[in-house]
Structure 1
Amino acid sequence: MGQYLAIGLRLMASVKKEQEFDEISVEDVLSKVENRYNLSDIYERSEKEKYYVYSIKNEVLDKELIPLIEKFYALRYTKDEEMDTADVIETLKALPDTSARLDLLDDRRFQAYQAGDDMDYFNPDIFPLREIRVSSNNAILSIDGKIAMECYGRVFDFFSRCIAAQLQEFALSKALTVWIDG
């Protein structure tokens, strides 16, 4: 199996609680994580036994998931590309609710709509230096490969911001992310 360039929506992100910080509060650290990963007002933060978990609010997904995907596909794929995007949209519209639409990701029936996970390490500007692992569960909307890259974080952040700028009328555009999957 190889690695692929993936673009999608960060549906959920989690930060393990085990890190201890001497000079900075947990709230300050989480604020830095929220800023770095754009875990803005469209996410709800909850506290689990071992993790802080950020999940996209259901009302945002209910309102914007299909319209954002339709516009994203129109920007991303040309008419000449043979992709399953029309089938994805038709299937999503036929499903009764957002929960069923998200469950469809796990079926991996479509190239342009499937589940994908990502893990990143973030070094917030704190002392002593700590590395924070941020795990994400994503909805893949585009996947191309195979790809091999090193030191790609900043360019992927740029890609994410460019894509979000094209879709800025959707609050859900703040959840767009680019990563290497596989």
Structure 2
Amino acid sequence: MSDISTFKFTCSCCDEIHRGVPNLGSNAPNYYFSIPDEEIKKRTFLTSDTCVIDDVHFFVRGCLEIPLIGHEEVFSFGAWVSLSKENFEKFESLYDVKERRDNEPMFGWFSSWVWPFYTDTENIKSIIHLRNDGIRPYIELEPTEHPLALLQSEGISSEQVIKMYEYYVHGKK
């Protein structure tokens, strides 16, 4: 495997050379984006790590980590998983706990689209694994034949990461 420092690319949108694997993601769960703008403040509570909608839908942000083919480091996509109220309350109670990795993983439903490749990713069975030192949880997708689950187990190409970067940073489709 090559050293991660060798991962670099020239962006076709800005012609800049970027070094290192970009970390991309969604700022809110899918459901959040379906709420009319005039209702957002009344119906939602959103932080960089949690989201509550209508006091009945609970989400946490974690890291969907995908091996980067040919490199030691992984590609990390910031994604959202819905949790039961009980698991969400457990997550919140452990939020500031430095050593939390040994807690039981929690079941949830994947609640992010991974554009531009995967738009049918809503409600993939997922497990979130807490990590120590305030690091966002690791999202493990149920091993299935779903393309995103296969990507998590088999890896993503540099070309796919570059396309995703250009989409998220520059809006290139």
* TM superposition score normalised by structure 2: 0.29
User: Could you say which structure has the higher helix fraction?
Assistant: 1
* TM superposition score normalised by structure 1: 0.28
1 or 2 for the larger relative contact order (CA 8 Å, sep ≥6)? 1
